Chain A
Amino acid sequence: METTAFKKIYTKITQITKATCTLQASGIGYDEMAEVNGRLAQVVKINGNNVTLQIFSGTEGIPTNAEVTFLGRPPVLKVSEDLAGRFFNAYGQPIDGGPEVEGEEREIGGPSVNPVRRLQPSELIPTGIAGIDLNNTLVTGQKIPFFADPDQPFNQVMAMVALRAKADKIILGGMGLTNDDYLYYKNVFDNAGALDRIISFVNTTENPPVERLLVPDMALTAAEYFAYDKKETVLVLLTDMTLYADALSIVSNRMDQIPSKDSMPGSLYSDLAKIYEKAVQFPEGGSITIIAVTTLSSGDITHAIPDNTGYITEGQLFLRRDTDIGKVIIDPFRSLSRLKQLVIGKQTRADHPQVMNAAVRLYADAANAKTKLENGFDLTAYDERTMRFAREYSKELLAIDVNIDTTQMLDTAWGLFGRHFSKAEVGIKQEFVDLYWTEKE
């Protein structure tokens, strides 16, 4: 779309709703950006000469004679190496007081990667957190959300994962972040001396909710630039996708669309998939890995947002407070990384898959023993041993404050096995038992 020397100014709006306005205009492209009295807007519907604009910051105070100009292009982001270390709003404008970034203009929400041009994800991402590295190993090119209740420390865990992961660039897409959380991220990255690797696109709770819809596309356009053009390993953090979906439902509601399950738009699955499927391993070396947060309402994963997310992402990570040890752990039962099979036992020690399964199985036995206890039944000696094991397993491996490498995690697990169980009870292949079994201390 070419830019013209002068722009036609329209001043006759025929219809205004809470989020949209309609005017008569011609020669307008679908998805094109516009300014309405200086506020950014986007074309969402064209019917003959009637063009409907969605005004991102809302229509409060917009008069029927507002000045409307069309920008002749869809939303774009200027990409260059200068993006690194900068903070932007949802429109890609700097909010850190620095200058505008110069670079090539890229349309956001661009095309998808041809599936035959993808490479199978294959590089392990170490985080130091055993609940992740041992049980739910992350792989480059993966997309995985944290399913967490709002009171859980998901922002802290995400920041920790981001800093420990050996990524060339970390891109934060903050949607509906509270100002406090935004400053938290900024401080953590600053203190870690990692600011030059970080790029942030932030919509805080102080900004209008509909603006959020631009954030993931902005973040991922920047990610594609670094991963595809520069062949870098890029980690994208999206928090909180539930608030993004809420914004979608606001818009679809204002556009009089019929809601489907949980008042979400019928297109929720496609809308979310378009974002998450940007995670990719390019054959030329770069990759985009997406770690997102989906907040739940009191743990309900059957709600349309976590449900659709679960069908799209490659696993999910659950946080849970373990009252026995008083710490937050990565729940080994409900968490899952679908891509871990590609790396465990291959890029990690060969006993990894077996140790992981044995530990989770014994932890499950402990959960059964606990239920028995709660129901007032007697415990066997084995039950009591599993419960002792579970407490130590939780504290030494599942807790999110653990920071060790995978080999240490495996050794720790073998130590726990030796302390509480017989070889037969653990049931691991003989060749590994011969190598790693440690007797009771």
Chain B
Amino acid sequence: MEKNKNTNGVVSGIIANLVMVQVDGPVSQNEICYINLAGVDLMAEVIKVLGDVAYVQVFESTRGLKVGDTVAFAGHMLEVTLGPGILSKNYDGLQHDLDKMEGTFLRRGEYTEAIDTSKKWDYKPLAKVGEKVIAGSWLGEVKENWINHKIMVPFKLTDSYKVKWLAEEGNYAASEVMAVLEDEDGKEVPVTMVQKFPVKIAIKAYKEKPRPFRLMETGIRIIDTLNPIVEGGTGFIPGPFGSGKTVLQHALSKQADADLIIVAACGERANEVVEIFYEFPHLDDPRTGRKLMERTTIIANTSNMPVAAREASVYTAMTIGEYYRSMGLKVLLLADSTSRWAQALREMSNRMEELPGPDAFPMDLPAIISNFYARAGYVKLNNGATGSITFIGTVSPAGGNLKEPVTESTKKVARCFYALSQQRADSKRYPAVDPIDSYSKYLEYDEVREYLSSHVSEEWIDKVEETRNLLLKGKEANEQINILGDDGVPVDYHLRYWRSEVIDFVILQQDAFDKTDSSTPMERQQYMLNLVLGVCNTPLEFDSFEEVNPFFKRVINTLKQMNYSDYMSDQFSQFENELSTILTERKSA
């Protein structure tokens, strides 16, 4: 959006955070403006234009705002600042650094810099003078924590350029010019370590977006074993309150095999973010041994922060993710919760008196959600390297009912569905992911099946299918037992039910608060699944149903003790021996 002169305006109407502005020149949809309220500039975004009146949503409280107050339009959309120094930061939804703000309470219009541009970095050039480059090409790199942070040709540059000058290896501030590019007409473009990019536009500095195939390990058995997610995949976790959405997301953020994690805390409890602030600096990343906080960036728009910035917060997080993906990194983006974002859209649409869709949500909600999920993915960059954004969002369905617009719209686009069940949560079976309703579409991908057969084992997919079948059979048997009574069904029904219980207790349930059990590497998951399937396939003999329950309780207890022991330790093998002794007691000849 190129404009010669910046437009100004005056406030002509106010309804909560929707403000009407009489403008004196051209304005663009989604353009940022600043409303001057008694000397303080309040940031706002254009969401509708009618004649010479721009409707803007203000990212702050409008208390005290008056008709006639002046407005200055910025000439650009909502942008994030991209450069080294983003990792480990705590931002608000508009990428203002929360730690740099003064005082205990948030103050209206206090906008802090996202990146400290005076900070110096050790820089190493990667490109060569004379090389042809386009947006996203790597010019050099700096060390940000342990990540090789690439300095790239700004994404806003659309033409192709020639590198005219490159800074030598050395220590530079982020604001210094690192390279000079020259376009075909000989016009020079200086490039620093820092660039800006609008959040609502996807960064497309890559060659292609192939189907993802590589498993992303999370250490969570019910995900990795039964419903795997892949690097560059999408998934969502719907669940009623109290079903453990946040604990599951925290577990993902702690354990997932990603280079960096971006957590968008979108309209949720402030104390949950505080938990991350307090815990992550002390927790170790199991893969690098570094502190978890070093690979984590938090975008916090908690439920008491301005509603309009809530929508922006997920886009801010996604754009930062795309920036790091363009460096060839594996990014995991978590958003908790996307329902709050949809509600923010609903509040605005309501104030603008748009005709509502289902449950008063805006009509274009499904389109907005699918566009957003589509920005995740596995990409091949122009230089042949690969990068990915894996996106997992939580959904908070009203009343726990999955037949509501946000869940339904998300189900159409997200490929993994981790349904949290109230019933499982009530019986303390955590993680409360429903094993029957949940699915991963990636198991149908030929690329993924091939990857799993070659990287885990050839029979792996069959075993996963078998596990699912056993669970389903167990569920059916249990229903029969409940209808007909313990002694009204053959003993075999009890066996079927208890075999599914073994899978449930040993594979599906996992103690997120136990040091060993909380994260299970793939090799161990494979070992345990084989062991459990071995138990399920052992033919057993019982005289009456009353013997089944105590026997399997012992089996489950022994297997659970294995889960709590270090893999392949003496203790681990001891329990395994114990298990085979128990099994021989009842093994049919």
Binary B-proximity of A294-321 (CB < 8 A = 1, otherwise 0): 0000000111100110111011100000
Contact B14 A46 (CB under 8 A): yes
B2: shortest Cβ distance to chain A, in Å?
Answer: 32
Contact A115 B360 (CB under 8 A): no
CB neighbours of A109 from chain B (8 A): 63
For residue B468, CB closer than 8 A to chain A, the reply is: no
For residue A267, CB closer than 8 A to chain B, the reply is: yes
A96 to B261, CA, bound (A): 56
- Knowing A27-B66, A270-B307 are in contact, say whether A120-B274 is a contact too (CB < 8 A): yes
A274 to B347, CA, bound (A): 15
CB neighbours of A65 from chain B (8 A): none
A387: shortest Cβ distance to chain B, in Å?
Answer: 17
Contact A267 B303 (CB under 8 A): no
- Knowing A258-B350, A260-B359, A377-B485 are in contact, say whether A282-B104 is a contact too (CB < 8 A): yes
Contact A116 B98 (CB under 8 A): yes
Contact A111 B105 (CB under 8 A): yes
For residue B401, CB closer than 8 A to chain A, the reply is: yes
Contact A46 B277 (CB under 8 A): no
Segment of A7-15, A29-37, A166-174, A401-409 in the binding face:
A29-37
Of A44, A257, A261, A380, the residue contacting B398 (CB under 8 A) is A261
A225 to B106, CA, bound (A): 16
Please report which residues of chain B, range 525-568, place their CB below 8 angstroms from some CB of chain A when the two chains form the complex: 546
Of A49, A107, A270, A316, the residue contacting B67 (CB under 8 A) is A49
Closest to B304 in A: A277
- Knowing A267-B347, A270-B347, A377-B486 are in contact, say whether A114-B103 is a contact too (CB < 8 A): yes
For residue B117, CB closer than 8 A to chain A, the reply is: no
Please report which residues of chain B, range 36-88, place their CB below 8 angstroms from some CB of chain A when the two chains form the complex: 61-68
A112 to B310, CA, bound (A): 15
Binary B-proximity of A138-175 (CB < 8 A = 1, otherwise 0): 00010000000000000000000000000000000000
For residue B273, CB closer than 8 A to chain A, the reply is: yes
Binary B-proximity of A96-121 (CB < 8 A = 1, otherwise 0): 00000000000101111111111111
Binary A-proximity of B266-294 (CB < 8 A = 1, otherwise 0): 01011101110110000000000000000
- Knowing A110-B105, A114-B101, A273-B304 are in contact, say whether A310-B343 is a contact too (CB < 8 A): no
A43: shortest Cβ distance to chain B, in Å?
Answer: 8
- Knowing A114-B98, A277-B303, A333-B426 are in contact, say whether A26-B105 is a contact too (CB < 8 A): no
- Knowing A28-B66, A30-B62, A258-B350 are in contact, say whether A112-B271 is a contact too (CB < 8 A): no
- Knowing A269-B267, A314-B269, A364-B427 are in contact, say whether A116-B104 is a contact too (CB < 8 A): no
For residue A48, CB closer than 8 A to chain B, the reply is: yes
Q: How many A-B residue pairs have CB under 8 A?
A: 171
CB neighbours of A208 from chain B (8 A): none
Contact A120 B275 (CB under 8 A): yes
Counting chain B CB atoms within 10 Å of each CB, the highest count among A44, A110, A114, A380 belongs to: A114
A269 to B305, CA, bound (A): 12
For residue B13, CB closer than 8 A to chain A, the reply is: yes
Contact A266 B346 (CB under 8 A): yes
CB neighbours of A115 from chain B (8 A): 90, 98, 270, 273-274, 277, 300, 302
- Knowing A46-B14, A310-B242, A312-B269 are in contact, say whether A259-B98 is a contact too (CB < 8 A): no
Contact B66 A30 (CB under 8 A): yes
Contact B340 A269 (CB under 8 A): yes
CB neighbours of A364 from chain B (8 A): 427
Contact A47 B20 (CB under 8 A): yes
For residue A222, CB closer than 8 A to chain B, the reply is: no
For residue B400, CB closer than 8 A to chain A, the reply is: yes
A260 to B65, CA, bound (A): 28
A437: shortest Cβ distance to chain B, in Å?
Answer: 19
CB neighbours of A47 from chain B (8 A): 12-13, 15, 20
CB neighbours of A1 from chain B (8 A): 64
For residue A74, CB closer than 8 A to chain B, the reply is: yes
A140 to B485, CA, bound (A): 47
A28: shortest Cβ distance to chain B, in Å?
Answer: 6
- Knowing A266-B360, A273-B304 are in contact, say whether A314-B271 is a contact too (CB < 8 A): yes
Closest to A333 in B: B426
A119: shortest Cβ distance to chain B, in Å?
Answer: 8
CB neighbours of A357 from chain B (8 A): 428
CB neighbours of A87 from chain B (8 A): none
A308: shortest Cβ distance to chain B, in Å?
Answer: 8
Contact A259 B304 (CB under 8 A): no
A107 to B63, CA, bound (A): 10
- Knowing A29-B63, A29-B66, A30-B65 are in contact, say whether A48-B104 is a contact too (CB < 8 A): no
Closest to A51 in B: B67
- Knowing A46-B13, A46-B14, A277-B303 are in contact, say whether A113-B64 is a contact too (CB < 8 A): no
Binary B-proximity of A304-345 (CB < 8 A = 1, otherwise 0): 100110111011100000000000000001101001010000
A304 to B400, CA, bound (A): 11
CB neighbours of B104 from chain A (8 A): 113-114, 117, 228, 282
Please report which residues of chain A, range 114-135, place their CB below 8 angstroms from some CB of chain B when the two chains form the complex: 114-121
Contact A46 B270 (CB under 8 A): no
Closest to B17 in A: A30
Contact B399 A302 (CB under 8 A): yes
CB neighbours of B485 from chain A (8 A): 375, 377
B341: shortest Cβ distance to chain A, in Å?
Answer: 11
B200: shortest Cβ distance to chain A, in Å?
Answer: 22
For residue B108, CB closer than 8 A to chain A, the reply is: yes
Contact B360 A74 (CB under 8 A): no
CB neighbours of B513 from chain A (8 A): 341
Contact B90 A116 (CB under 8 A): yes
A266 to B356, CA, bound (A): 11
Closest 9 pairs (CB-CB, A-B): A302-B399, A273-B303, A277-B304, A310-B241, A260-B360, A31-B63, A29-B64, A47-B13, A112-B304
B residues sitting closer than 8 Å to A (CB atoms) are 12-15, 20, 61-68, 90, 98-99, 101, 103-108, 240-242, 267, 269-271, 273-275, 277-278, 300, 302-305, 307, 340, 343-344, 346-347, 350, 356, 359-361, 396, 398-401, 426-428, 485-486, 513, 546
- Please name 23 pairs of A and B residues whose Cβ atoms are closer than 8 Å in the assembled complex, sorted by A: A27-B66, A29-B65, A29-B66, A32-B64, A46-B67, A47-B13, A112-B270, A113-B106, A115-B90, A258-B350, A258-B356, A260-B360, A266-B347, A267-B347, A269-B267, A269-B340, A273-B267, A302-B399, A303-B399, A307-B400, A310-B240, A311-B241, A314-B269
Additional A-B contacts beyond A28-B67, A261-B360, A280-B270 (5; CB < 8 A): A45-B14, A47-B12, A48-B67, A120-B278, A277-B302
